[in-house]
Chain A
Amino acid sequence: MTEIALLVQGLLDGSIYALIAVGLTLVYGLLRILHVAHAGLFTLGGYVGVVVTNQTGSFVLALVVAMVVAGIVGMIIYRLVYQPILHLPPYVALIASIGLFIAMQEGFRFYDEQGVSFVDAPLQGTVAFAGQNLQIAKIVTFFGAIILIGGLGFLAARTRTGVAWRATVTKPKMAESFGINIVRVRYLNFFIGSALAAVAGVMVSLTTNLVEPTSGDVWSYKALAIIVLGGLGSMRGTLIACFALGVIEAYGTTSFLGAIMNRDAIAFAFLVVVLMIRPQGLFVRT
């Protein structure tokens, strides 16, 4: 494989990380919670996407349904799980979230242990590029992620809701005293973050054509590593870390490192090394 091909492969994977990690960063920025159960919503999105596509034959409809369902479940999680324990030490929410994630996984297992696949999966072809076949589904994901995250950035920068949102993240007390309904901002936050995770779940299920109860595991653990790398709560840092990790994994697995550790271990080795040098992450929120 050529260097260029590895770079492209890494960037394509990075866009999937980005779709997942944006929601995690939003939650961390607002509530200081490591939202492990986010990965459950990724898997939920995958299941809904596959089932609805198979039932109705429309992939676009399935994508929208998956986003809405995951978004609503995300808001329910905030209301029932996080809101009552916000005043407790941070490890409480972290462990509650891990528990919820494990329980969600088992829930998927009850629904369908073997996992579900598309009957007639769309976007299955490949494109030859720099001596390598790239999956069309991954390319669509890449541009989709750029449009969605770019749109979100526009929303945050230019609209009244966006301003209220950013104000709440930076200075929650101050924002509240200016009449912003911070609880509504939190719901919005969970809805958008979860919907983006669902998009990632649906798109990943296209590339593998299989959604299993454990599909979300590795993605979610790495997404947690990414938001830590990005400096916890820094959106720009997170996005850079997503693409950096994608590229490092692509190069790492083909280098000498690939002989002594697997892809996931390379990602976490990178995390540990970076944190030893910069304990506050690559980018600190100002």
Chain B
Amino acid sequence: MESLLNAYDMSLIRTAAIMVIMALSLNMITGFCGQISLGHAAFMGIGAYTSVKLSINGIDFIYGTFAGMALAGLLGLIVGLTSLRVRHDFLAITTMGIVFLFSGIVEQSKYLGDTDGLSGYPHPAYSDFTYMMLTILLAIAVVALSFYIKRSWMGAAFKSIGDDEDTARVLGINVPLYKLSAFVLGTAIAGLAGSLYAHQTTIIQAENFGFIESITVLSMVVFGGVGSIAGVTIAAVILTLLPLWSQAIGEYKLLFYGGLLFAMMRFAPYGLAGLAQRARLLLTRRAGTAR
């Protein structure tokens, strides 16, 4: 199998797997728990910068990744605390502020390589193929975790908060606890995606984790259907590979994203999952009349 794929194919698959992890991590916050975030890429950046800084200081990739996840999760907890006070549109703009704070601080910091970014850092001693398999396995693990959470008691609590926070509170659900859990889980996994991303490329810059990147991830969640695990996974793969495969779209990547986000919201606000459900309804109805 190893001989069937060239280096470029493997880099595509890696990138897609990392974006699946990233999109599913946002899906836990926005999809399951209904807390919109326009700044998710900042946490990917925290994971990436932590892991890279530690690897420069000679610490192993695996520990660096865990440290990146921990720090991203910790800062996610702090942002989660704002979500306890700030709601809806206010939260959307606050999270947007987080991404500008992140890039504004990184670009001013000599230690973090200011606007030039960090480059020439050591990579783990895996072959391309092993690293690809690692990202795929981790993506599968995150998919499995998503399904587990969605079906657990916590998933039910998340959904009730997403549907109507005040009602959830009246029903005795510990709203702050679950909101914070969603933020910590989602941002820690974004940190994982960041560390994986940093070690499959040669340079990281603040702009790799900026507002546009956050919107790209959000568009995957929306395109797939907010909250739908299968939909978001498929959307992440399609939206990552399509611009890379097709040269024409690659050049107009942003126009494509913008147009797609817009068209999806305008004509199919419930995403791929919504379309699938509509198709299923149509089919069963047709089967019903045939009988």
Contacts and interface: CB of A to CB of B under 8 A. Distances in A.
Given A34-B93, A259-B108, A268 B269 contact: no
A92 B222 CA distance: 9
Interface in A254-286: 259-269, 271-272, 275-276, 279-281
How big is the A interface, by class? 35 or more
Contact of A95 (B96, B103, B109, B261): B261
Given A88-B269, A98-B215, A232-B89, A103 B258 contact: yes
Given A272-B97, A276-B82, A281-B90, A100 B258 contact: yes
Interface in B87-119: 87-90, 92-94, 96-98, 100-101, 103-105, 107-109
A99 interface: yes
B218 A269 contact: no
Interface in B245-291: 252, 254-255, 257-266, 269
Nearest to A265: B104
A105 B254 contact: yes
B261 A99 contact: yes
Given A34-B92, A94-B89, A279-B86, A265 B105 contact: yes
B108 A224 contact: no
A84 B257 CA distance: 21
A99 B94 contact: no
A143 interface: no
Contact of B93 (A95, A224, A262, A266): A224
A34 B265 contact: no
A81 B82 contact: no
Contacts of B94: 228, 271-272, 275
B151 interface: no
A63 interface: no
B90 A85 contact: no
A84 B97 contact: no
Given A102-B257, A225-B96, 16 more contacts: A81-B262, A89-B269, A93-B265, A95-B219, A96-B261, A99-B260, A99-B264, A100-B258, A102-B215, A107-B255, A225-B97, A228-B90, A228-B93, A260-B108, A263-B104, A272-B98
Interface of B: 36, 82, 85-90, 92-94, 96-98, 100-101, 103-105, 107-109, 211-212, 215, 218-219, 222, 226, 252, 254-255, 257-266, 269
Interface of A: 28, 32, 34, 81, 84-85, 88-96, 98-107, 221, 224-225, 228, 232, 259-269, 271-272, 275-276, 279-281
13 contacts: A85-B265, A91-B92, A96-B266, A105-B258, A106-B255, A106-B258, A221-B100, A224-B93, A224-B96, A260-B108, A262-B108, A272-B101, A275-B82
